[in-house]
Amino acid sequence: MNIILTGFMGVGKSTVGKILAQKLELEFVDTDEKIEKLHNMSIPEIFAEFGEEKFREFETEVIQNISQKDRCVISCGGGVVKSEANMNFLKYRGKIVNLYASTDKIIGNIGNDANRPLIFGKSREEIISLMNERERFYKNCHIRIDVTDLPADAVADKIISELEGEIND
């Protein structure tokens, strides 16, 4: 089985994912890192050169590939959930966990991050509107965890306790 971490940018998926993988002795995989390595470009470079649509194609290729793996913690880019095909690949052998936090916490974490082309230079209202658009996808995940007041280590423990009995399947 795999554990798939989803959630809006800045919610802490990669930090939690690394801790979780360590605790469970699973491999850690980050979809954005895979895309960057495969195309030898950073995420902002891919968006600038090819646009979001092409980035989503690259993302689906990577998701299709890593969803064949087993015993991994997979940290997904925030937009992976938008594609039904991605979700079907990931559900094949995975439990989908959604991490969410208050708007203030997320905006505080991501700030005006040049490494995140979808929010760079955007107003608070525009970021909130993107968060609202994503909600309908996140709410379909198997497990949802509010991480607003939890340190990453406690989030990892909470995921382990919520998935108890399923992790070694």
If one counts every other C-beta atom within 10 angstroms of the C-beta of residue 28, the result is 16
> What residues make contact with ligand S3P under the rule CB under 6 A?
9, 13, 32, 43, 77-79, 116-118
Complex with ligand S3P: residue 9 or 159, whichever CB lies closer: 9
Point out the residue whose Cβ comes nearest to ligand S3P: 77
For the bound state, the minimum distance from the C-beta of residue 118 to ligand S3P, rounded and expressed in Å, comes to 5
Closest to ligand S3P by CB, 134 vs 158, is 134
- Indicate the residue among 85 and 166 with the shorter CB distance to ligand S3P: 85
> Measured from the CB of residue 11, what is the shortest distance to ligand S3P in angstroms?
7
Q: Looking at this protein, which amino acid is placed at residue 31?
A: T
Of 45, 69, 64, 65, give the one whose Cα is nearest residue 55: 45
**DSSP line for 11-52:** S-HHHHHHHHHHHHT-EEEEHHHHHHHHHTS-HHHHHHHHHH
Would you say 51 and 41 are in contact if contact means Cβ atoms under 8 Å apart? no
* Between 14 and 167, CB nearer to ligand S3P: 14
